[in-house]
A and B are shown apart, each in its own frame.
Chain A
Amino acid sequence: DTAVSQTPKYLVTQMGNDKSIKCEQNLGHDTMYWYKQDSKKFLKIMFSYNNKELIINETVPNRFSPKSPDKAHLNLHINSLELGDSAVYFCASRPDFRGGYGYTFGSGTRLTVV
């Protein structure tokens, strides 16, 4: 199936730990994103990569570090996890970073920090 897939789907961890979330798309898209959805369902962009190059870096703590080994993959590593990092993290992709293409979203990773 062509899709954006994220792993893991659920992640429960203690404060202070370091964790990673992985994202892969097989749609042949050039651009990938990380969005954070808080407890009130508000979606906010965090990062975007276009063909392995970081092109959007919103105001995000530097404990969050994205990595794109190739244009089909965009991973998110989080150091020293805090309670406020609990949220659902969505990966998305689109054909290109310009124009009005729609975004294809993954099913999300629910991160719970305890």
Chain B
Amino acid sequence: AQSVTQPDIHITVSEGASLELRCNYSYGATPYLFWYVQSPGQGLQLLLKYFSGDTLVQGIKGFEAEFKRSQSSFNLRKPSVHWSDAAEYFCAVGPFSGGYNKLIFGAGTRLAVHP
């Protein structure tokens, strides 16, 4: 069955430090991969997505993610974190089975940013 694992429940970084949030997926083929961000009390906003092609994808707010097929990973990175990046981050897999597509989410990683 398809699944998404975000190993880190909670991460704290200092403002200006680099960030990497981990995501591993389980799926028999190359899936569609997404990162969403949820600020407190808000809905989910799409940061970036990977479908095919270049394995390094750029997103909004200075985020990027790299797809590594050999590791079944799609880690999210940002070179310099801002205090406003504090939020919950969700990795999601949208498997395409030829049928009805649905997003399967990881459990989320809560990012705290110290000044």
Contact = CB atoms under 8 A, between A and B. Distances in A.
B103 A48 contact: no
Nearest to B47: A102
Interface in A64-114: 90, 92, 97-100, 102-108
Summarize B's interface: helix, strand, loop or mixed: strand
Interface of A: 4, 33, 40-45, 48, 50, 55-56, 90, 92, 97-100, 102-108
B56 interface: no
A40 B9 CA distance: 10
Contacts of B34: 102-103
Interface in B27-44: 32, 34, 36, 38, 42-44
A97 to B, nearest CB: 5
Contacts of B43: 4, 90, 105-108
Contacts, number: 59
A14 B92 CA distance: 34
B71 interface: no
B108 A42 contact: yes
B32 to A, nearest CB: 4
A42 B46 contact: no
A56 B103 contact: no
Nearest to B108: A41
B83 interface: no
12 contacts: A4-B43, A40-B107, A41-B108, A45-B102, A97-B100, A98-B96, A98-B101, A99-B101, A104-B46, A106-B43, A107-B42, A108-B43
Interface string B77-115: 000000000001010001010001111110110100000
A23 to B, nearest CB: 11
